[in-house]
Every structure is written in C-alpha cells, then in structure tokens.
C-alpha cells in the first residue's frame, strides 16, 4: 500500500495545504518518512489523516465558485468500529460546507471494504448539502457499492452506471465536474 500515491496531476491547479479554507491548510508533508498505517501497512505520506485508523483521504480539488470538491480515499471505510463517516463529516465535510461546498465527488477505487453502522451522519450530510447539492461515488469497487446498498445508504449517494466507468484521471477537475453533472442531470430529468 505504501506505493499508492494520491493523484497528483492536478497539483498545479490546487494544493489543499496551500488553500487557507482547507482543513489541511499549512500541513507539511514528508516525501520520505512513512508514519501512517492501515492495519500495519504503511501508506504513502501524501495521504491525509482524518483521525481514523482505517481510512485516509486527499482533497484533490476544490472550486468555491462552482461549489464542489473532489476527494480521493484509501483504505477501509469502517463505520462499525471507527465511525469513519463521523471523522469525514465533522473534520472535512463540515469545514468545506462552511465555505459553500455542496457537491462532492468521492473517488473510491482504493477503498477496499465498507462496514456499516447507523446512517445518522450520512443523513446529516445529505441534509446539509440542500436541494442543489449531491454526493457522487465514482470508481468504487462493486462489493463496496453492494455493501453501501445493503446498508441503505444508496439514498444519500449517487453512483453506478456511467459513474463507475469514468476514466477521471484523463480529465481536468472542471471537465470531470462537468461530466459528472451531466450524468446527474440526465438521471434527475
């Protein structure tokens, strides 16, 4: 797992540690010191710790004018033991919501498992984003999406179909957001 880096091809457009509205503003990173682990497996030092022992994130891009954030995740999303959604909601999403972010693209190809608890933080997140907001999951593994559906969290997320086939690394953040928005608008109409 230590070789899996967060996507870095948009760093010329956005760096969370340089964004004074980011939860990671002024964070310093090491390129050589591996300290964070997921189940005793070291992960690349560029991933951001949100307080969970099992999941880490990277805010890849935030557009305050268009009100969206793109966040990549790695690890095991474990609400049953670690209440990972609480850490994500309280320490990241709430901060971004304070600056008007109400559209979230979560990239989950490196999320290995999901373990459910209750849905109260998901429901709160869903209510916070309002009628014009959404939470999209792209490129999550099939078994993780099945676990979300079995936990009845599919009410809060938009995923599946074309969203599972987006080759997101080939787009700019704006183009990715535009493509995702088109898919969502097509589904809602």
Domain residue ranges in the chain: 48-188
The two beta strands, 68-78 and 55-63, are: antiparallel
**What is the spatial order of strands in the sheet that 134-138 belongs to?**
48-49, 55-63, 68-78, 103-115, 134-138
Distance between CA atoms of residues 165 and 172, nearest Å = 16
Low-confidence ranges of the chain (pLDDT < 70): 1-2
Provide the percentage of residues in the chain whose pLDDT is more than 90.
78
Distance between CA atoms of residues 47 and 16, nearest Å = 11
Task: Supply 176's token pair.
Answer: 């990715």
Task: Supply 166's token pair.
Answer: 């987006």
- Counting Cα atoms < 13 Å in the Cβ hemisphere of 26 gives 1
Give the pLDDT score at 2.
Answer: 66
Distance between CA atoms of residues 77 and 73, nearest Å = 9
Distance between CA atoms of residues 60 and 62, nearest Å = 7
Domain 48-188 has CATH 3.30.750.24: yes
Task: Supply 79's token pair.
Answer: 């609400």
Give the pLDDT score at 30.
Answer: 79
Looking at the DSSP assignment, which residues form a beta bridge with residue 105? 70, 136
């Amino acid at each position: 797992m230590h070789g899996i880096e967060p996507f870095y091809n948009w760093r010329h457009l956005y760096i969370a540690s340089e964004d004074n509205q980011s939860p990671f503003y002024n964070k310093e990173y090491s390129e050589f010191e591996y300290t964070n682990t997921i189940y005793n497996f070291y992960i690349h030092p560029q991933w951001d710790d949100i307080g969970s022992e099992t999941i880490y994130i990277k805010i890849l891009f935030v557009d305050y004018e268009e009100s969206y954030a793109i966040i990549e995740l790695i690890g095991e999303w474990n609400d049953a033991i670690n209440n990972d959604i609480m850490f994500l909601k309280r320490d990241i999403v709430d901060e971004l919501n304070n600056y008007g972010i109400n559209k979230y693209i979560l990239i989950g190809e490196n999320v290995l498992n999901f373990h459910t608890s209750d849905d109260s933080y998901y429901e709160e997140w869903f209510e916070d984003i309002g009628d014009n907001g959404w939470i999209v999951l792209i490129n999550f593994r099939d078994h993780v999406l099945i676990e979300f559906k079995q936990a009845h969290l599919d009410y809060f997320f938009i995923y599946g179909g074309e969203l599972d086939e987006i080759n997101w690394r080939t787009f700019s953040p704006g183009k990715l957001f535009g493509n995702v928005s088109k898919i969502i608008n097509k589904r809602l109409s």
